[in-house]
Structure 1
Amino acid sequence: MKIIKPILTTLLALHLGLGIAQEVTSPKVHFGFNMGDDYMLANYTKMESYFLQVAKESNRVLIQPAGLTEEGRQQYLMVLSSPENLKNIEKYRSISQQLGRAEGLSDAQAKELALAGKPLVWIDGGMHSNETVGSHQLVETFYQLAQSKDPEIVNYLDKVVVLMWHVNPDGQELLADWYMQYPDQQQRNMDIPRLYHKYVGHDNNRDFFMFNMKEAENLAKVMYVDWLPQIVYNHHQTSPDGTVVAGPPYRDPFNYVFDPLLVTGIDGVGISMINRLHEEDKPGYVRSDQSTFSTWWNGGLRTAPYFRNMIGILTEITGGPTPSAIPVVAERLTPRNGLPYPVKPQEWHFRQSIDYSVSLNLAIIDYAARNGDKLLYNFYKMGKNSIERGNQDTWTRYSKYADQVSQLYEEALRTGQEEKKELTGYYRSKHIPKAYYDRVYENAANRDPRAYILSADQPDFGTAIKFANALIKGGVYVYQSTADFQLNGKQYPKNSIIVKTNQSFRPQVIDMFEAQDHPHDVQYPGGPPVRPYDAAGWTLAMQMGISYDRVFEDFQAPLSKQPYGVLLTPPSTTVAKSAAGYLIDARANDAFIVVNDLLKKGVKVFRDSQRANFYVAASAQATLAEAAKKYGIQIVALNQKPTQLKPVEKLKIGLFDQYGGSMPSGWVRWILEQYDFDYELFYPKDVAAKNIKNYDLLLFVGAGIPSANPAAGGYSSRQPKGELVPASYHHLLGSLTADKSLPILKEFVQNGGKVVTIGSSSTWVYDLGLAITNPLVETSPEGKQVPLSSTKYYIPTSILAADIDTTKAENYGMPAKANIVFNNSPVFKFQESAAVYSLGKISSATSLLSGWAHGQSYLKDTHIGLAANYGQGKIVALGPEITNRAQAHGTFKMLFNQLYK
């Protein structure tokens, strides 16, 4: 492949000690302390210099620059194996790629390659910077593998190639420097003033199918395009109380698109891990039903590899530099299957966690060393299975289909078409005639698609390209049509994008296009539901609002296959000369970049209130032609100037943040920067001092504004001990309060300001005296309004259907039907008037499109957003997650439209 030679050159150029036995500097010598010493942390600068130093000293290490972080630090891939293996590293990397892609190989050829190859094991650390065990175990493991003469480790390195990766260098630098700034060890803390990632903090582990952040993009290139490891081990914290570490096997459900070999492969690795700890008398490993973690969701560093047939391993371990304790938890004192070897309650030290982590790393490497050919061949086998499934009629066994089989049979019993039979079998189970299975699982309408087509003539093709590029970054290959073609009676223009499912990463393709069908399990028959572990629905094509067609048979068309990892660019459009001016299609998100660039250049922009598009005079042709070439947006040359034009003017935007940072606000910072909106951050003290009067618009995202009614929920503020915070950060301290802050915000709006809220901040409208009520509350026995019980209503991150009022200026460019990301989001009930009007509604009692929604009928006929004239100003409250982790492109315009006069 084209990428092999450059990678080999880079690796060898940075490895100066190949084949030469040298003394390797220990962490103690380099850092001045051992990894795991109490009250001691190393920053990334020091770690980076250590990795580079050892790479010079050890003939077991190659190191490869792998891209810059959001703050400009260098990330590296560190490759560790025997000197002989490193001499042939490109051979082993190529074998892993060939087996992982499974293209053009016979089973016999795959077995030969599996025997000739070396399994690749990925070990990372440092993702969540306050989870300090992960970053520091990385250093200790790196050191041991780089120099240990232990026969066990020498044997491992002869049989395995280990890939090591620091996930979040920027956060490591910030957190460690903050912790170590205090001379008094007892004062050392992790109450940092901002997120431990420039934009997204903990949510850096929610970006691994979108790859918005540079760190995620760097990792994707290494993992999914260049190397394709068979096992990916992602270190996290912390374990359930009364335990040391939580790990595999994980609880149900797993995602239905997985190959069964993947699920049992996870179990195999998990057994190796727990056995090693028990062999070394390291108790406290909790798993399965005693742990909360499942293998359902996509987007995490550990879970996303599942959709590429890679065995992803997560552990959550206790401990940190400040000594802690294993508490007494009664239910975790007795051995059981989920906790075979309980740990004794005790004081706990950082080094103990490092030792556990190293043991777990070695357990995984041991498993790979003993089962290398099986790991490699099964990697191929899963890929081959995926290709075959994409080449033929295939039915994914979604839970909804099992429900349909049961429902069809129950209906037949009720109507007398079937005679009720006694329960049969050892477990007295209900046997349903196979005909009902066939009606569902052999129903052509329920087949998985063989391909998806994203037509190039859709209004926001630029966003469709962004979607396709997210797939490409994640190792999926796509096609683009080289000419117009017709299929199933529909005409598709040149440059349309085709994603076929007959590829090894088919699970990822299906998962990005099709609805997630999380099972609605209950704790016992008739009992409360079992909540999903994390996000339940995330279908990216739905979130991004792109148009696509499903194709259920093979077809021929003029297509060009995009090379792995090579991104698409928008097809450039032209702008004809016009004396009457131009319209920029506002249905395209990138139109807002163009408009903002024009405004910054002093070009006047207007909104055509009839068509909702942007209008620019003829004098801007050259600038528009440049934008059309860059973004591929539709710019229409007019014969006649529109008559109903309203000037578009920038607002001075204030975006709320707080001490410690806000992830929803951080994602929006990134979005605003991508679309060239100017903004400033403001904090609680700015509200208290009324410095907010300097802004035209205040933007609150997520938990920003508290409600006077505790039943509304939604606001939280983490406040550190003020005396431990340096004076330079005191302006970030403080909280918004219902009694003091809300009157100031009301005054801001009444005096002509604009407030826009997204997500839980929107609950403040219940307190404004506008007869807006919360439909998701009930009256407690004490007569108080309280949130609906989770046994009645609970909707974790999922995608719902909503009706959008496209006649409202706040919704210009939006479709009448939209997919909204919903996460127990606020909704509203009110009578529309000139003062308060709806921006969209959930009209159905069954609005769920993807994910899990318990009690969704409570949402019927509720409003998802509203605009309210309040004094001389305006409030726009949007309940759903319209900016969800910078993934929900389909609803970005519901924010962007609010950011102009």
Structure 2
Amino acid sequence: MKKKIKSILVALLLSQFYVGEAQEITTPKAHFGFDIGEDYMLANYRQMEGYFLKVAKESDRVLIKEAGTTEEGRQQYLMIISSPDNLKNIEKYRSISQRLGRAEGLAEEQARALSVEGKPIVWIDGGMHSNEMVGSHQLIETFYQLVSRRDPEVQNYLDKVVVLMWHVNPDGQDLLADWYMQYPEKEKRNMSIPRLYQKYVGHDNNRDFFMFNMKEASNLAKVMYVDWLPQIVYNHHQTSPDGTVVAGPPYRDPFNHVFDPLLVTGIDGVGFAMINRLNEEGKPGYVRMDQSGFSTWWNGGLRTAPYFHNMIGILTEITGSPTPSEIPLVAERQVPRNGLPFPVAPQKWNFRKSIDYSVSLNLAILDYAARNGDKLLYNFYKMGKNAIDKGNTDTWTKYPKYIQHIEKAYAADIEAGKIKAIQNNSYYRAKIIPTDYYEAVFTDKSFRDPRGYILPADQEDFGTAVKFVNALIKSGVYVYQASADFSVNGKNYPKGSIIVRTNQAFRPQVLDMFEPQDHPHDVEYPGGPPVRPYDAAGWTLALQMGVKYDRILDDFDGPFRKQEYGVLIEPLQREVPRSKVGYLINGKANDAFIAVNRLLQSGVNVFRDLDTKDFFVEARESTKIADFGRQLGLTISAAGKKPARLQALQPLKIGLFDYYGGSMPSGWTRWILEQYGFNYELFYPKDIDEDRLKKYDILVFVGPGIPPHGVQRTRGQVEEHLVPPQYRHMLGAVTVEKSIPALKRFVEQGGRILTVGASSDLVYHLGFPVENPLTEEGRDGKRVNIPSTKYYVPTSILRAEVDPAKAENYGLDSELNIVFNNSPVFRFQPSDNLYSLGTIPSDKPLLSGWAHGQHYLNGVSIGLVGMLGKGKVIAIGPEVTNRGQSHATFKMVFNQLYK
């Protein structure tokens, strides 16, 4: 009885502490007018911003710092939460994290001492995908609990951990919450917004974290990879697989070959802490490993990009919505298994339950960090030190291609009778191969990882190379720039060339951006269907951007100046010589299109030299082009005489297709066009059907937009009565019955249509004599798609060949790196009215990623031009605008946008 009374008194005392503190800190309900997690209720970003700023003034546990603006101009903040004593010394702890993460010049004894002295840094974010409202609202609730609670648990976390909190997408939060809350009748509230919830890229805002095209991604990169270097990054998402509550770590294979093993086991450690806490609290439904479907292969997401910086990245996908939902019955997920040890019963599900789960998962991570802070900090250093050491020595990454080399060599020697197969009679019956086959590969110096890369300053599109390097710099990679001419391995390089060494802590990021990805052949069973990668299979940025670089296998030196961390490189300043005739702007440089469009928009006549493919401007315009050499780093030469064959350029009136809800490929194209100075307007399905296309010279369809061949219409529609009148012009669908004839008339009357990716099926609807080469004869004698067991190319990079003499290909090299995602390709008999833009000339075109059955692509056309009446259709199969990354192929779009 005495023990019971004592426990009650302790509980009451703790309750008094909690309530007393909570009265000093504004509660979410007092600020928002409802409890976080209340059904049918959402907060917008304006309200969240006001709450965070208000509480930061009320609490000594919070520092809040402005961290850049979004694409729509909203302010992003970094919220730093810890004990008052820690916050007084926050620069010390930030510096320790930086020093350990970069691992430069630190002896092990120093690192161990700093690991004890420092505080682990844990990143918790929310709001990435705005229709996933659990993520943004758990941020509010977690923030409140950390700044208001005074119980020993939270106090312990605050004493031992520094928490960074971040709202990823403020613009989308305002858009979605305002849209949802506009309906007075709760049951009618919905998230069927008319446009993307990030200005340009919507859901793809989580595909931008090695390129950093969007302002939000650049803001995050500076905080995460330059200023703070957290050890754990927790990225909240939804939704979970059917019949579960939340999917989380550990994740399934494959993991990327460049990772340090400490990273992989570090993810596992955090994952076990998370599921254990839910189990302790009686919260079932956590699914992991092969049952969740998420791997650690891909780079580019907020959760996955940190892996390449030795940070433990955590993603969870949780169920839940402000509109009440259900956990459905999935019978097979009611049987406990390693991937789902605590199944959840089917049941009604409310928003608050998801918030409670999310807070528990956040606290589980903080608990793990509090208990293992010194280990987290030391292992962070250790991974960085391992990376530096690998970059300073001969190192071989164990890619699948090298293991296949060993297996093939062994099999060939057995078949040739040179050796006999080793018989393994042990329990495991593994295939044992003599050690000398291993040594033949992993002592072969030609297979080594590079010590560094050199990007020559005299490459024709050095401006794009600078953009590539700046993406590396944003991610915390350091680079050098040559202060004078130099030579390495007998090759001369000019001043201004850029050097990227691999002996740095973020070596995995460096390798991943330069070296091809070698995705394993991942199938459900031998001979079975492929297991779809979480996202891309190959993405090597240097290849996507068409950057010219040399891989240097041995150590090298020169007159190299190290660039300060996080400071971007400026384009080379090139002087424009004087001319009495005119000027030639290098047509191989993507940024030349910025110059051309600025000149055209200011009334200057611009021509294309049909011999050199450069752009020509007459001498009287010298004052208008003088800055292009300095601002854009363009090579502009003085013409000795006026070129003999000139073609005047006139900008076309561009219509870019979009639809209600927003197309991400179209959004990326909007962003690209704006970066390079093209004017455009959006048009929608109703504009096609209601004959409103005459004001355009060219229609651009990127990605989905045209019904697939054999399908009668595009995606389904939102109920019109739920859409306010001002957005109803965006509704509708592209149909074979009505829209395709209208598009045909547009071309016949002299218009152009450019299609990229899936929309290139238009060529079949318009009746061009084109075949799909990726089909075979089915059992009934009809053509069917080649099954994925034979042919499958998830997003990867392939080698193609194009004809630079064709106007559509001006400025391209004859060999071209293309991003390919099971993309359309074509086969046809060329004629005067139908010709190819390029082909895949090999049965092994894969450069980076995974291409099962790639021999089917040998000889196919990647793009075509078809004449129809007075106009033409340009159809390009590969993803030539891929997420604003594939700079190598941007000119395949740009060239089509002039008369």
Superposition TM-score tier, normalisation by shorter sequence: over 0.9
* Residue 175, structure 1, aligned to residue 176, structure 2: yes
Output the CA distance in 2 between the equivalents of 1:688 and 1:661.
Answer: 19
Q: CA deviation at 1:69?
A: 0.2
In structure 2, the residue matched to 1:867 is: 865
Q: 1:832 pairs with 821, 830, 833, which one?
A: 830
Contact in 2 for aligned 1:765/1:877 (Cα 8 Å): yes
Structure 2 spans left out of the alignment, 5+ residues: 1-20
Distance in 2 of aligned mates of 1:577 and 1:420 = 74
Kept in 1: contact 2:22–2:149 (CA 8 A): no
Inter-partner Cα distance in structure 2 for 1:818 and 1:827: 15
CA-to-aligned-CA distance 1:558-581 (integer Å, 9 cap, x gap): 000000000000111111111121
Distance (whole Å) between structure 2 residues aligned to residue 623 and residue 473 of structure 1? 32
1:208 partner letter: F
Q: Is the 8 A contact 2:736 2:765 kept in 1?
A: no
Structure 1 counterpart SS, 2:594? helix
Aligned pairs for 1:330-729 (under 5 A) are 330-710=331-711, 716-729=714-727
Q: CA–CA distance in 1 between the matches of 2:797 and 2:723?
A: 40
Quote the residue 1:849 is aligned against: 847
Contact 1:655 / 1:698 at 8 angstroms: preserved in 2?
A: yes
Name the structure 2 match of 1:244: 245
Distance 1:345 1:94, change over 3 A: same
**What TM-score results when the alignment is normalised by the length of structure 1?**
0.97
Quote how far apart the aligned CAs of 1:587 are: 0.2
Give the C-alpha shift of residue 529 in structure 1. 3.0
Q: 1:708: how far off? A: 4.6
Could you give the per-residue CA deviations for residues 765-822 of structure 1, whole angstroms, max 9, x where no partner exists?
0232221111112343344433222222221110000001111010000001010000
Query: What one-letter code is carried by the residue in structure 2 that aligns with 1:542?
Result: L
How far apart are the structure 1 equivalents of 2:766 and 2:730? 27
Taking the aligned partners of 1:21 and 1:871, their CA distance within structure 2 comes to 74
The 1:325/1:21 distance shift into structure 2, 3 A limit, reads: closer
SS at match of 1:287: strand
What's the CA shift string for 1:855-901, capped at 9, x where partnerless? Answer: 21111110001111111001110000000000000100010000000
Contact 1:580/1:617 (<8 A) preserved = yes
Cα offset, 1:716, TM superposition: 4.1
CA contact (8 A) 2:115 2:374 kept: yes
> 1:192 aligns to what SS in structure 2?
coil
AA aligned to 2:824 is P
- Distance in structure 1 (CA, Å) of the matches to 2:839 and 2:762: 19
Q: Secondary structure at the match of 1:775?
A: coil
Structure 1 vs Structure 2: percent identity of aligned residues? Answer: 68
CA distance in 2, matches of 1:321, 1:766: 44
Tell me the number of residue pairs that the alignment of Structure 1 and Structure 2 aligns: 879
Match of 1:310 in 2: 311
Give 1:831 shift. 0.8
Q: Is the 8 A contact 2:80 2:163 kept in 1?
A: yes
Q: Secondary structure at the match of 1:337?
A: coil
Residue 110 of structure 2 aligns with which residue?
A: 109
Task: Specify the code of the residue in structure 1 equivalent to 2:181.
Answer: M
SS in 2 for 1:341: coil
1:419 CA drift (Å): 1.0
What corresponds to 1:31 in structure 2? 32
SS in 1 for 2:290: helix
Where does residue 4 of structure 1 map in the other structure?
none
Q: Which residue of 2 aligns with 1:877?
A: 875
Paired residue for 2:755? 757
Q: CA deviation at 1:176?
A: 0.3
Q: Which residue of 2 aligns with 1:769?
A: 767
2:806 to 788, 805, 808: 808
Letter of the structure 2 residue corresponding to residue 38 of structure 1: D
> Per-residue displacement from partner, 1:345-403 (whole Å, max 9, x unpaired)?
00000000000000000000000000000000000000000000000000001111111
Distance 1:421 1:733 in 2: 67
How far 1:122 moved relative to its partner? 0.1
The range that moved more, 64-73 or 620-629, is 620-629
Corresponding residue of 2:776:
778
Secondary structure of the corresponding residue to residue 456 of structure 1: coil
Q: Distance in 2 between matches of 1:396 and 1:824?
A: 28
Does the CA-based 8 Å contact 1:803-1:840 persist in structure 2? yes
Question: 1:424, CA displacement in angstroms?
Answer: 3.6
Aligned residue identity for 1:728: Q
**Within 5 Å, which residues of 2 pair with 1:15-26?**
23-26=24-27
Distance 2:780 2:169 in 1: 48
Q: Please name the residue that 1:858 is paired with.
A: 856
Q: 1:733 aligns with which of 731, 734, 757?
A: 731
Q: Deviations over 1:564-605 (max 9, x none)?
A: 000000111111111121111110000000000000111100
Q: Which amino acid aligns with 2:110?
A: Q
Provide the TM-score with structure 2 as the length reference: 0.97
User: Following the alignment from structure 1 to structure 2, what is the Cα–Cα distance between the partners of residues 526 and 880?
Assistant: 27
Counterpart-to-counterpart distance in 2, 1:222 and 1:531: 32
User: Which position in structure 2 is the counterpart of 1:15?
Assistant: none
What SS is found at the alignment partner of 2:380? helix
1:105 to partner: Cα distance: 0.3
Contact 1:819/1:890 (CA < 8 Å) preserved in 2?
yes
Q: Secondary structure at 1:588's aligned position in 2?
A: coil
User: For the Cα contact (< 8 Å) 1:766–1:774, is it kept in 2?
Assistant: no
**Superposed CA RMSD:** 1.1
> 2:706 is matched by which residue type in structure 1?
I
Maintained 8 Å contact 2:120/2:369: yes
Alignment partner of 2:250: what SS? coil
Aligned to 1:898: 896
The Cα offsets for residues 15-38 of structure 1, whole Å up to 9 and x where unpaired, read as xxxxx9980001111000111100
**How far did 1:285 drift?**
0.2
Asked if structure 1 preserves the Cα contact closer than 8 Å seen for 2:36 and 2:140, the reply is yes
Answer yes or no: is 1:276 the counterpart of 2:274: no
1:72 corresponds to which residue? 73
Aligned partners of 2:425, 2:48: CA distance in 1, in Å?
63
Q: Which residue of 1 aligns with 2:4?
A: none
Cα distance in 1 for residues equivalent to 2:524 and 2:69: 46
**Retained in 2: the 8 A contact 1:659–1:718?**
no
Would you say the 8 A contact 2:840–2:862 is kept in 1? yes
